[in-house]
Structure 1
């Protein structure tokens, strides 16, 4: 259950960063790209946690 919550939280924070920091310039990497990566990683983590929870229920 913890993995699902962390994944959803990462996805929400990533989406907020991606949508609100398009015009912010940093020297090395843009914050909107970091937000997009966070959203993708968070979604994947939540999905894998759900799949793991489903496998535990089948046993």
Structure 2
């Protein structure tokens, strides 16, 4: 359950960054791209945790 919550929080933060920082310029990396990466990683983490919980429930 903790993995699902962490993935959901990461995905939400990523989407917020992705939508709100399009015009922000930083010297190293674009916050817009970081937000997109966080959203994808968070969604993947939540899905893997959900599948893991499903496999545990079957055993």
Partner of 1:47: 47
1:39 to partner: Cα distance: 0.2
**Taking structure 2 as the reference length, what is the TM-score of the superposition?**
0.99
RMSD: 0.3
Q: Gapped runs of 5+ residues in structure 2? A: none
Structure 1 stretches (4+) deviating beyond 6 angstroms?
Answer: none
Q: Gapped runs of 5+ residues in structure 1? A: none
Give the paired residue count. Answer: 59
1:34 to partner: Cα distance: 0.3
